[in-house]
Amino acid sequence: MRAKRSKKEKSNKLGKIIVVAVFIAVIAMVINIAPNYIRKKVTNKVNVIINNHDVTESMKLDGYIDENEVVYIATKDIANFFDEDIFYDNQYDQIITSSDTKLAVLPLEKKEMYVNSSKVKIYGMATEKEGEFYLPFSEMKDVYHVEVNYIKETNTVTIDSISREQKKANASKNIAIKYKPTIFSKTVDKVKKGDSVIVIEEAENGWNKVRTGLGIIGYTKDITNGYQVREKMETKKQIEGKVSLAWDYYTSKVPNRMGTKIEGINVISPSFAELKSDAEGNLKVKIGEAGKEYINWAHSNNYKVWAMVSNSEAGKNNTSLVLNDYKRRENLIHNIVNMVLENELDGINIDFEYMNVEDKEMFSRFIIELAPRLKEYGKVLSVDVTAPDGSENWSLCYDRHQLGKVADYLIFMAYDQYGNSSAKAGTTAGADWVEVNVKKFLGQEGVEKEKLILAMPFYTRLWKETGGKPESTVVWMKNIDSKLPSNVEKTWNEELKQYYVEYTQNGATYKMWLEEEQSIKAKFTLIKEYDLAGGAYWQKDFEKDGIWNMVAEQLNK
């Protein structure tokens, strides 16, 4: 009797152990499988899929669909995903937005849009709701270079950049699309045999991540006959390799360069245009027939022509009036684009100097709005800037980070370390000072090295000290030897990577830091060391014989 009870107790104990083991196994299975069933499907608002990423929950404001099925997205979210420089212009009550080749202006509460200055009729309109701005995004496909589809069944908007690669494949049978790449996962959609899906990527163990016709993203193994819908668009640079630019400055008469060749350069930047002082955005264009011959000469030598546009005639105040008014900026941009197209120019070099520090943001706006108008035609935009951390009107008036993002190239005018306003004599461009500022551009200013061109001076200054503030005169590189006494001793300064001379004459002390082959070579060393986009030279006809051969040699190293 006692043996039977003991046997029964053992059996009950074993049964309990089995039950506990099964319970633990079930719990383990639930823990492992449950995540495959979790699906955060948003049901109370429009779902937005951008380039195969569900961004619905990360949007700052809900998008909406109007009665005509126009898709509206808030400017805050457009800034996050498409155009961080989108801008509300309160003067004209309009939204200004852009992509790489399109500038769009949408007046609020009007069924119209201006794309690259051409009026386009639209069925939606830029509007304000509860203090927030919304744009009719589905009508702006050409602006942002996207495909936009609204899928009513799932209340989903899909947005695909047409510059990205896209692949599709067909369902090999009636298939279930899984939330995770495992057969234990929840089915999120079903696709019939032969229907196509967008292939996002290959996952693991033969699974493919796909997007169905309902805009639902999931996984399947059962697709076949993959095919390419579109290739990734590659942008080709106008200049392959390092840029080597020479400024060719003149005030009225176009230089006659016929029959000449400048070794070592691939870009010439003649001073073809100035912003007029009428403050309307009009240009004083100095091209004419002589300029057209000049352009033909440049192209015959395989030089690109990036015409310089300066604000030297307009001055600080009239420049400010243009920058701070959209219609005046638009007129200036229109005039620049027309000049480029009419004269078959390859690009523009914007040389706006001595501006109000208060106009820093609006100068950036001008470049933001100019860039797509030029890129639409494959033209290059370069912008000249000074060293960071200087005076307000000379240095602090530039947002170098913003300009560097938008322009094709930022040209650092690395000269006048000591200039007319300096309280003491000093070098025009010491290598140590140049390097410190190159590091600032690449570091604190966040400019990409592929966009930064280092500009070098083909001139220096002869300083005269008589006890008070020193005076200086500009001396062109080719005239340095003729300006110095024949017996003057040249001393090499290793920090500055320059020769220095000092002498006394008629009771005054004269000082000069030379800009010639050795100092220019030192600057090329910085271009190579920091892998910059290239070099530029101010200016043609200041140089001494042989300097261009040295430029060609340095760039080819």
Beta bridge partners of 169: 197
**Which CATH superfamily includes the segment(s) 244-456+517-556?**
Glycosidases (3.20.20.80)
Dihedral of CA atoms 447, 494, 518, 351 in degrees, nearest 10, equals 30
Q: Chain-centre distance of CA 67, in angstroms? A: 37
pLDDT score of 13: 59
Distance CA 339, CA 360 (A): 26
Question: pLDDT per residue over 329-342, tens digit each?
Answer: 999 999 999 999 99
Residue-level pLDDT at 16: 57
**CA atoms within a 13 Å half-sphere pointing along the CA-CB vector of 221:** 7
Query: What is the DSSP-derived secondary structure letter of residue 236?
Result: P
Q: What is the DSSP string of 367-430?
A: HHHHHHHHHTTT-EEEEEE--SS--IIIIIT--HHHHHHHSSEEEEE---SS-TT-SS---SS-
pLDDT at 448: 98
Greatest Cα-to-Cα distance within the chain, rounded to the nearest angstrom: 135
Task: Name the strand (E) or helix (H) holding 526.
Answer: helix 517-529
Give the model confidence (pLDDT) of 181-207 as tens digits.
Answer: 999 999 999 999 999 999 999 877 899
The CATH number assigned to the domain with range 165-230 reads 2.30.30.40
Q: What is the pLDDT of residue 29?
A: 46
pLDDT given at position 204: 76
47-153 CATH: 3.30.457.10
**Could you say which residues of the chain have pLDDT below 70?**
1-43
Dihedral angle of Cα 196, 198, 201, 202, to the nearest 10 degrees = -10
Locate the domains of the chain by residue range.
Answer: 47-153, 165-230, 244-456+517-556
